[in-house]
Structure 1
Amino acid sequence: MTAEGPRRPGPRAVVYGDVDLNIIDGSAIWAQSMTQALAEAGCEVTLVLKAPVRTPRLVDPLTRVPGVTVVRPHEEGLLPDLGERLTPEQAVALLARMDAERPFDLVVVRGSRLAERAAAEESLRGRLWTYLTDVPQTLSGLTPDAVAGLTAIAHASRYLLCQTEELRCFLEQAVPAACGKCVLFPPVVVLPEGVAGPGQADDPLTLVYTGKFAPAWNTLEMTELPGLLGDRGVRAELHMIGDKIHGSDRDWAKKMRVALESTPGVVWHGGHSREDALRMSAQRAVGLSWRAPELDASLELSTKVLELGALGLPVVLNRTPMHERLLGADYPLYAGADATSVADVLARARDPQVYRRAADACARAAADFTLGRAAERLRGYLDRALPALSGRNAALPSEPLKVVVAGHELKFFTRLLEHLRSLPGVEVRLDQWTGFNDHDEPASRALADWADVVICEWCGPNAVYYARHKRPGQRLLVRLHRFELYSEWPKRLAVEKVDAVICVSPHYAELTRRRTGWPAEKVLVVPNWVDTEQLDRPKLPDAEYALGIIGIAPSRKRLDRALDVLERLRRTDPRFMLHVKSKLPWEYWWIWKRSEERAYFERVFRRIQRSPELSGAVVFDPFGPDVAVWLRRIGFVLSTSDDESFHLAPAEGMASGAVPVVLAWPGADTIYDDHWVHADTDQAAAAIADTVRGGRFDAERELGREQVRAAYALEGVCDRWTELVRGTAPAAAARA
């Protein structure tokens, strides 16, 4: 073995969608583009087909992509008793068997039934990248069974791939287990080389629709358009590309076929490969993606809209919030509910200025959905899921490094634990204590005997236990929070057995040294992590008037100071509101049993009711992990506490594009730039007002986003923990 040790090979990915690639529709196009994007991102990709190849239009192009292998279970006889298509159970059994023969780094699946079955396959857990589309997208559809199924999928998946921000936010609010796992993978646009639209309306006006024919897609109503445009003096042709007529209504299907075959002005081209369909579309002037109103609430984005836009064609489509975010509220080709309104819109599209505006808007929107952009997204997800070791961490040991993480509450350590588990050459086991002082002693003793490195999250009884049972040569790392520093447990810890005590801020590291007398070189600083990628989402309208505070109990969080800031702002601008995301104080028994805490909160809530400036201006939102969704509406995140060890909320706000407003609690200036730290509530309110009135909101939030990425991004903090676990961290850097 060389001095540097073995290197990790390129990621191995397997893709299986519960879709038939003989039928050209959005789901089949997904399978093709996902395979292409993974290959472009550097993966060795295996695509497993659901059905025997009858039409090679989508499969053949993939066989020519370097690094892609297409597996044909029917033709290759890989399973007994195969029907016309693989069932979800058969597909998962085949994936598990292939994985056992040669393991995959990621298993990409699409289809809710398939995903539930894959989530139940123990051997695939943690490596599933589940693409979610055919899931409930309304509150009425979120039955208990649906939520239970999505929860199981989320627990088993490394990532949940969501097509749109709207779908991601909906899932995170409905399924707590999805929070932190949902990432964006929007449609991918791959165009044949040298293909572009005409760039202007023609005569006759040529329209194009590609895809499946189905009632909700308004394909039957589209066939009326040449006639309706003729009534307006506009010659028009409608070109329809596709060969699959959907729908259980036989009468409708018959009408659809008759309309395709015999309607004047309608040209039906039948089914074609994706590339040929795009070439044919590029010869037309305007694309159609007009659907029935019941699809307006869909949280999915049409691939066809993006493909047509990339070709340079303007597209007629429904006005929805998602489409307004994509194309702008003033996009000129939004259609109404009936074919007459579509004909009116198309007649206006003949105006060269209207046509150019619409075509340019569609082209700009499509630019973020290229194959290159998709591969870039995937490389980012791969780097996080399969972190490559570099620098001091490049050498892999000949034997796995055995790491135990022990603690009763790991909510502050979840992503670090996830990172450690993903490291090559590291085996991680968890000692989950049932309470602060309760655990399975035989299991803990066995883990203590097994581990090379023990990480104790919280400096409590767990740290005392593992210090007592530490073996020679074993490394013990203890992470200390504010809570334990003021408890009895640091006094009971045999610190001479501890290799490092990790604090999250310089201020609390210094406090720890002073209060405990522990050797200064053992007390290190590694900050809390902020998942800057997850939190960086588009703000909702009027976010600059929304103040936010996360966690208001106990009283030292000082909700009253946040109310002071709000009152001062609303005296001159009643648009300001305060949003509180927190458990309420009576939900914490250990807080509510204290009379001084009850008295404080009674005063605060009475004040909210009685103050003219506060009444109706404070919104209480449920406590939960959907912080990234909640922060989309927040423009300023307040930190008004008497004291904090770190206070993650302002940093999370910064990552979301909100402006931090921090009152000067002890040590705040060692975590946050002085620019964000204010002496009192008057100064804080004045800073908020000046930022909004002075038009500096966007500049300030961009500054905050840059700072938090540089200081507290998850990737950097994970690197520090990797060094600590492997014993390669420079002590001076950790103490800084």
Structure 2
Amino acid sequence: MKVAILAEQNFNLVDGSTVWLLNVCRLLAMQPGFELDLLLSHRLENRVLADELPVAARVVEAPELLAAAGLVAPRVEAETVLEVLAAQEAARGRYDRIFVRGALYLDRLLAEPEIRDRVVAYAAGVVPDLSAAEPRWLGAARAARVPLVVQSATAARVMETLADYPPWAIHVVPPAVFVPDVPPPPRDGPVTLCYAGKIDAGYGLDWLADLAEAIAADPGLGLRVIAGKEAWRARHPAFFARMDALRKAATAGRLPGVSVVSNLPPSRAMRQMAEADFGYCLRGPAYDDVLEVSTKAMEFCALGVPPILNDTALNRDMFGADYPYLIDPAAEDVPARLLEILRGGRKGADHAAARARAAEAAKAAAAPVLAARLGRAVLGRDPAAPALVTAPRRILVATHQPKFLDRMAARLRGEEKLRLDWQIWAGMDGPGDALRAEVPAGVDTVFCEWCCENAVWHSRNKRPGTKLIVRLHRFEAFQPFPGRVDWDKVDALIVVSEWFRDHMAGQYGIDPARIHVLPQYVDWHALRRPKLPEARFAVGLVGIAPFAHKRPDRALDFLAALRARDPRFHLVVRGAMPWQMPWLWNREDDTRARYEALFRRVETDSALAGAVRFDPPGPDMEEWYRGVGAILSSSDSEGCHTAVLEGMASGCLPVVHDWPGARGLYGEHVHADLRAAIPGLIAFAEGDDIDTARAALSRRVERHDVAHFIRAVLRL
């Protein structure tokens, strides 16, 4: 696989972002079969980082890129990146994937359909500014389901909830750490604090300068500054004057125990970092909302040096709220707190506990672990997993609505011998004027997602030698389309439950041997997130439309009866409001009146007071289920009710009304009268070992994970 790595960063400068770029190359070089080109935005004038690149990464400097495109410029700008990439591909061949960091580059590349599907984007981890317009690249990447690499689980949750990014397309890859193979240094000298990184006015280095004289006055303490590039010297003259004075005083020996060195290669810098007892990783308030994991913090962890960090949600998430070296600069005297930590020494309980936490964090940043994660983001599947397709295959997916296949399509993107083509119909009834339904030469299988006019047409126009597979959801089973399908031409029919298998066999005379029960898949691994404390007494309901189908009134009846037994419970409803769907809200029947009565009851029924919350729809269901302890299905009819499968995968107790097909899927959790579920629900919520019970529920639906679904479909 040919992979281009393209970043706006200047690889001549040594800082966290360029060390990140170096380590991305190292991680991708660990993948078998990857051919790497690092396309540099600048001329390479400083080889401090370049000399540590893996041999597998071929470096192409900006002058070569620009010359091939017939351009003369000092660097590759966003305005020229398309021309540069086109010239590079003309010379080197088409890239299968293009790994990109930089909003301006992404703006241009994601605007090009021919490039968009090959991009893997890296997102710098800053909380989106909800008062500003959304970045163009983010909207384009979300719409195209572009794989997105972020540095932390916190950043992933932010992208899910604030940017509506599909969780399955987000890959968490913290900064990798490549530790030089050197024996651990003796720790019998002064207790030393070390800073390594760029000289930036926002990095809290004023606090180090405040501390320097106190450290110099104490022979038992030391301070080491390993300086990288300087950031915006002209903008911050007072700050840099102070840093220059610190360097001169340390170099002249006027600050015993304090040293300042510059521009070390990463391997040499890490050897010096390893000799410290504490890593200085504080930042000023300008970085409070940054969700990127500090590369230097992870390096300190890997070296066995506990970092001193800001008390932020990101750091609490990574190291624990009780990590002893978290500092809140807004509430504490930072130099005084630093002196207190240093004087606590390297032999106390706090230092031992912090080193243990640092070791745990370092395991998560081990190169083999992160290489697999990054490889999965780029390749589309686990690089170590065997290929699902061993002989060349070409599948045509014909559908008017592909949303239920997104995750499957993303996984198949990594199969080098499989080509997936799409035939998007304008609606259920026909292909539309812009599309002439046909099967291109070379297609060996047609997969009809939904049994609508697409299945009718393809069953009547099946080309000899091809297979035809139809997947039927609940909706189409009661429409005229199945009655017009030539079922003798259909090799396999996929249905979502045993009830629909029996219905289709009985109604249309389809051979039961050709009907396969495969409920809608779930992303089982992504759903298995730790529950929030409030989940214990939260009952979730996904979707309340249409009324006659979802029966939200039955959900309120159940909640009222449940709260009569235990008022700690509440209902959390996720989905669009009925007035947001004109086709539903403006129907000429009693639909609107039934919804109005429902909402009046929520507002006025004392049994429900303050106990119902409505959450807007969004793709971040994995995060939403963290706050839900039970999942309710109050419907009169469903296919397989994917929300129940998702809820169970997340560890929710299912409470399911007895709709046709429910018992075959959910067994003892199905009730003709939902009130019968109340004693078991209360006992579940009050259980002493609820985590074990949640894990058992999750394991029951592991067989519905997307990976199992894909293998089953490919077998067909």
Structure 2 length normalisation: TM-score?
A: 0.90
For residue 279 of structure 1, report the CA deviation from its aligned partner.
0.6
Residue 327 of structure 1: aligned partner? 319
Residue 695 of structure 2: aligned partner? 702
Residue 351 of structure 2: aligned partner? 355
For residue 422 of structure 1, report the CA deviation from its aligned partner.
5.1
Residue 682 of structure 1: aligned partner? 675
- State whether residues 224 and 339 of structure 1, in contact with CA within 8 Å, keep that contact through their aligned partners in structure 2: no
Quick check: 1:238 aligned with 2:229?
A: no
SS at match of 1:223: helix
Residue 198 of structure 2: aligned partner? 212
Long gaps (5+) in structure 2: none
- State whether residues 21 and 28 of structure 1, in contact with CA within 8 Å, keep that contact through their aligned partners in structure 2: yes
After the TM superposition, which of the residue ranges 690-699 and 607-616 deviates more from structure 2?
607-616
Equivalent of 1:150, from 117, 121, 138? 138
Partners of 2:263 and 2:440 lie apart in 1 by: 64
Residue 260 to residue 154, structure 1, CA distance change in 2 (3 Å): farther
Equivalent of 2:97, from 106, 122, 146? 106
> Counterparts of 1:656-735 in structure 2 under 5 Å?
656-672=650-666, 674=667, 676-678=669-671, 680-709=673-702, 711-723=703-715, 729=716
Residue 636 of structure 1: aligned partner? 630
Give 1:30's aligned amino acid.
W
SS at match of 2:435: helix
For residue 507 of structure 1, report the CA deviation from its aligned partner.
1.9
Equivalent of 1:21, from 7, 11, 35? 11
For residue 290 of structure 1, report the CA deviation from its aligned partner.
1.1
SS at match of 2:573: strand
Give 1:37's aligned amino acid.
L
Partners of 2:567 and 2:219 lie apart in 1 by: 52
Give CA deviations for 1:31-60 in whole Å, capped at 9, x if unaligned: 111111112232332222333333322221
Residue 5 of structure 1: aligned partner? none
SS at match of 2:98: strand
Quick check: 1:591 aligned with 2:591?
A: no
- State whether residues 220 and 259 of structure 1, in contact with CA within 8 Å, keep that contact through their aligned partners in structure 2: no
Equivalent of 1:336, from 319, 328, 337? 328
Long gaps (5+) in structure 1: 1-10, 724-728, 730-736
Residue 681 to residue 140, structure 1, CA distance change in 2 (3 Å): same
Partners of 1:367 and 1:507 lie apart in 2 by: 47
Partners of 2:10 and 2:63 lie apart in 1 by: 13
Give 1:704's aligned amino acid.
L
Residue 369 of structure 1: aligned partner? 365
Equivalent of 1:479, from 439, 459, 471? 471
Quick check: 1:32 aligned with 2:22?
A: yes
- State whether residues 407 and 432 of structure 1, in contact with CA within 8 Å, keep that contact through their aligned partners in structure 2: yes
Give CA deviations for 1:408-456 in whole Å, capped at 9, x if unaligned: 2222223334455654444443332222224335733444788543322
Equivalent of 2:423, from 422, 428, 431? 431
SS at match of 1:180: helix
SS at match of 2:428: coil
Equivalent of 2:610, from 612, 616, 619? 616
- State whether residues 646 and 671 of structure 1, in contact with CA within 8 Å, keep that contact through their aligned partners in structure 2: yes
For residue 27 of structure 1, report the CA deviation from its aligned partner.
0.8
> Counterparts of 1:164-175 in structure 2 under 5 Å?
164-175=152-163
For residue 271 of structure 1, report the CA deviation from its aligned partner.
1.6
Quick check: 1:648 aligned with 2:642?
A: yes
Partners of 1:157 and 1:585 lie apart in 2 by: 27
Partners of 1:392 and 1:321 lie apart in 2 by: 40
Residue 553 of structure 2: aligned partner? 560
Give CA deviations for 1:607-628 in whole Å, capped at 9, x if unaligned: 3223334222211111222222
Partners of 1:361 and 1:464 lie apart in 2 by: 60
Give CA deviations for 1:373-393 in whole Å, capped at 9, x if unaligned: 102323444564599996994
Residue 460 of structure 1: aligned partner? 452
- State whether residues 116 and 153 of structure 1, in contact with CA within 8 Å, keep that contact through their aligned partners in structure 2: no
Partners of 1:495 and 1:573 lie apart in 2 by: 52
SS at match of 1:437: coil
Partners of 1:226 and 1:573 lie apart in 2 by: 60
SS at match of 1:413: helix
Partners of 2:20 and 2:238 lie apart in 1 by: 30
Residue 259 of structure 1: aligned partner? 246
Aligned length: 700
Give CA deviations for 1:227-246 in whole Å, capped at 9, x if unaligned: 34578x68432211023221
Equivalent of 2:148, from 132, 151, 160? 160
- State whether residues 197 and 227 of structure 2, in contact with CA within 8 Å, keep that contact through their aligned partners in structure 1: yes
Give CA deviations for 1:43-88 in whole Å, capped at 9, x if unaligned: 332222333333322221224x4x3333334478655555443323
Partners of 1:387 and 1:444 lie apart in 2 by: 38
For residue 601 of structure 1, report the CA deviation from its aligned partner.
2.7
- State whether residues 535 and 627 of structure 2, in contact with CA within 8 Å, keep that contact through their aligned partners in structure 1: yes
Question: RMSD in angstroms over aligned alpha carbons?
Answer: 3.0
SS at match of 2:632: strand
- State whether residues 128 and 156 of structure 1, in contact with CA within 8 Å, keep that contact through their aligned partners in structure 2: no
After the TM superposition, which of the residue ranges 207-216 and 682-691 deviates more from structure 2?
682-691
- State whether residues 163 and 300 of structure 1, in contact with CA within 8 Å, keep that contact through their aligned partners in structure 2: yes
Partners of 2:644 and 2:204 lie apart in 1 by: 47
Partners of 1:429 and 1:680 lie apart in 2 by: 46
Residue 374 to residue 427, structure 1, CA distance change in 2 (3 Å): closer
Residue 527 of structure 1: aligned partner? 519
- State whether residues 149 and 377 of structure 2, in contact with CA within 8 Å, keep that contact through their aligned partners in structure 1: no
